[in-house]
């Protein structure tokens, strides 16, 4: 029996050896930081806590306060011991110059009371653990207390448990070191090449496109220089149109004019009476295959529905096995045009969308990237990078965006930089591409309302669109005529068109009142119905100018078809 008791005692000793925390009664603390506090009213008492220090880490322990109602260290004390070290650190009540304890192994804290009479003993300590890495320079500390190298922050990979290292990070293009400075330097270079008298000469349309796409991120409004740039664009566009009889515009040239007008919130459908979109659609039908991608891209940017065979033509370009060295540039433009179509075209025109060819082209472009980050020469590299941005591949891991952008910035910052390279590179540094022209915001101070239909409501309505002409005639003999071409949703009423028109141009502002079941319009353009003079606003509607007739229905009950002519005519009325 005694032998069995002895074996039991030995067994308990072995358990205590491997489970010290259990046998010594110490509370086990495993958190990276915490507080140890205790208060006791007694005469003999002891309690302990064990702080577990992980490998490759250390803990700093601080005494914050220690109070005893009687006596000093002979009555009560707090002792700290560190595993694998023989020394102990003793804290006494009433002192205030306690030194912190730093340990690289587990720490045990003892609170002891010993006296013949009862008294109160109270203390508080705090501890904080850190990995050795946290003590080094260029270190990022996660919320959990773990530390990682600063170079691992904002690298697209979550190294901290809760993703702290990726929160608030710039991604994609904006995460490339030096991109903001390069964009600013490139914009300054572009402005140095601009002339107060002639803009960028024959490249004014391209200069404006690059300038607007590159500065949109930081633009706060329209300044005098921008107004002058736009006016120069208008003059050069009109000059090119007027020379069209003797010096015909190509589809490519028209595409650049349409893009420039769109990005500056002009109306390419009604540019001083000229419909550049219609001109471009007619021109592209007789142009070579290489001109189709940029033309379709410009048409899509302007909000135009592309021809039914557009996707087939663009697919043909993507699948071409031509040996022309410039083929990749044309294919990149085709990819941008296809990137535009799903967002901008009605569902019925997407039934033959070549998704497989599109995705294969994106994959092919990524695989063509060279070790230096380029895709060939600097111009090809820029246009392919734009195409990949348009395809939503900015943060894809199967190509090196950082290397491509760095390669382009190196050229932009060099002495050999030229206008064409700047035109292609600058938008990229603002996370833009040519297909982003269609997202131009024309709702604020940057809008030029004098030329028509930059109306957000029109673009936000889903479904097929059509074009109508809305005119104001003033006087029986049409002494004053204002005409606005609007691209509007189908099945729209005259009243809706009038509301869109007044948003696009203040000349078309009108006032009305509901009288019974009919809308009565009594003021247009600040001109009010005048019974004394016998002049009133009358509504005329027709499928074209020659067929318009007086309509007495309420404007919100009259719907029109594609190509319709709507006229509000201020004239003498007869009963």
Helices (H), 430-513: 456-460, 494-504
Per-residue CA distances from 212 to 31, 198, 433 (Å): 54, 18, 11
567 is in an annotated binding site: no
Q: Are 466 and 488 in contact (CB under 8 A)?
A: yes
274 is in an annotated binding site: no
Tell me what the mean pLDDT of segment 550-568 comes to.
Answer: 92
Q: What 3 state SS string does 197-215 have?
A: CCECHHHHHHHHHHHHHHH
Is the pLDDT at 8 greater than 70? The verdict is no
Per residue in 375-427, pLDDT (tens digit) is 999 999 999 999 999 999 998 889 999 999 999 999 999 998 999 999 999 99
538 is in an annotated binding site: yes
Is the pLDDT at 344 greater than 70? The verdict is no
Q: What is the pLDDT of residue 216?
A: 57
Residue of 373, 389, 385 lying closest to 340 (CA atoms): 389
Residue of 481, 564, 565, 464 lying closest to 525 (CA atoms): 481
296 is in an annotated binding site: no
Residue of 570, 367, 551 lying closest to 472 (CA atoms): 570
252 is in an annotated binding site: no
Q: Which of 214-218, 255-259, 277-281, 321-325 has the lowest mean pLDDT?
A: 214-218
- Rounded to 5 degrees, φ, ψ at 377 are -70, 170
Q: What is the pLDDT of residue 454?
A: 38
42 is in an annotated binding site: no
pLDDT averaged over every residue in the chain: 85
Which string of b and e fits 318-352 if b means at least 16 CB within 10 Å?
beeeeeeeeebbbbbbbbbbbbbbeebbeeebeee
Per residue in 89-109, pLDDT (tens digit) is 999 998 888 889 988 889 999
Q: Which of 66-70, 83-87, 115-119 has the lowest mean pLDDT?
A: 83-87
Predicted confidence band of residue 347 (pLDDT cuts 50, 70, 90):
very low
Q: What is the pLDDT of residue 370?
A: 94
Q: What is the Cα–Cα distance from 294 to 329, expressed in whole angstroms? A: 10
Q: What is the pLDDT of residue 449?
A: 38
329 is in an annotated binding site: yes
Q: How much is the pTM?
A: 0.56
Per residue in 442-494, pLDDT (tens digit) is 875 444 433 333 344 444 444 577 889 999 999 888 888 898 888 888 888 99
């Amino acid at each position: 029996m005694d032998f069995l008791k002895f074996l039991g005692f030995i067994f308990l000793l072995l358990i205590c050896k491997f489970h010290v925390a259990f046998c010594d009664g110490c509370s086990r603390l495993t958190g990276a930081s915490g507080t140890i506090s205790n208060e006791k009213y007694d005469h003999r008492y002891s309690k302990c806590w064990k702080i577990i220090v992980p490998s490759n880490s250390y803990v700093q322990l601080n005494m914050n306060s220690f109070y005893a109602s009687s006596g000093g260290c002979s009555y009560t004390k707090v002792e700290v011991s560190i595993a694998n070290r023989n020394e102990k650190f003793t804290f006494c009540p009433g002192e205030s110059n306690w030194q912190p304890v730093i340990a690289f192994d587990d720490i045990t804290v003892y609170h002891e009371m010993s006296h013949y009479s009862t008294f109160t003993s109270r203390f508080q300590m705090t501890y904080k653990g850190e990995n050795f890495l946290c003590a080094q320079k260029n270190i990022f500390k996660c919320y959990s207390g773990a530390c990682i190298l600063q170079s691992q922050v904002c690298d697209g990979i979550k190294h901290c448990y809760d993703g702290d290292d990726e929160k608030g990070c710039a991604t994609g293009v904006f995460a490339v070191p030096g991109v903001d400075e390069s964009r600013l330097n490139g914009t300054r270079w572009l402005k140095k090449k601009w002339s107060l008298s002639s803009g960028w000469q024959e490249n004014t349309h391209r200069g404006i496109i690059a300038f607007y796409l590159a500065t949109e991120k930081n633009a706060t409004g329209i300044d005098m220089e921008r107004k002058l740039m736009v006016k120069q664009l208008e003059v050069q566009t009109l000059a090119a149109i007027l020379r069209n009889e003797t010096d015909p515009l190509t589809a490519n040239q028209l595409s650049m004019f349409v893009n420039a007008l769109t990005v500056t919130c002009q109306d390419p459908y009604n540019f001083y009476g000229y419909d550049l979109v219609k001109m471009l659609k007619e021109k592209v039908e007789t142009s070579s295959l290489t001109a189709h991608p940029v033309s379709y891209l410009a048409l899509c940017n302007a909000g135009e529905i592309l021809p039914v065979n557009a996707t087939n033509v663009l697919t043909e370009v993507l699948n071409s096995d031509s040996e022309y060295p410039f083929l990749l540039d044309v294919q990149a433009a085709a990819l941008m045009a296809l990137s535009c179509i799903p967002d901008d075209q009605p569902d019925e025109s997407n039934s033959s969308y070549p998704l497989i060819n599109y995705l294969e082209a994106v994959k092919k472009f990524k695989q063509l990237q060279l070790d230096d980050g380029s895709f060939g020469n600097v111009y090809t590299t820029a246009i392919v990078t734009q195409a990949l941005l348009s395809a939503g591949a900015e943060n894809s891991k199967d190509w090196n965006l950082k290397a491509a952008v760095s390669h382009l910035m190196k050229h932009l910052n060099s002495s050999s930089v030229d206008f064409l390279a700047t035109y292609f590179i600058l938008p990229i540094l603002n996370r833009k591409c040519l297909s982003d022209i269609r997202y131009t915001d024309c709702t604020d101070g940057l809008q030029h309302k004098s030329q028509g239909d930059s109306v957000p409501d029109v673009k936000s309505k889903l479904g097929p669109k059509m074009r109508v002409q809305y005119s104001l005639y003033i006087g029986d003999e049409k002494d004053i005529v204002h005409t606005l071409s609007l691209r509007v949703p189908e099945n729209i009423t005259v009243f809706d068109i009038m509301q869109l028109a007044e948003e696009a141009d203040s000349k078309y502002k009108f006032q009305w009142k509901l009288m019974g079941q009919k809308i009565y319009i009594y003021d247009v353009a600040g001109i009010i119905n005048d019974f004394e003079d016998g002049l009133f606003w009358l509504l005329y509607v027709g499928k074209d100018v020659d067929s318009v007739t007086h309509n007495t229905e309420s404007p919100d009950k009259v719907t029109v078809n594609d190509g319709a002519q709507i006229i509000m005519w201020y004239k003498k009325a007869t009963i």
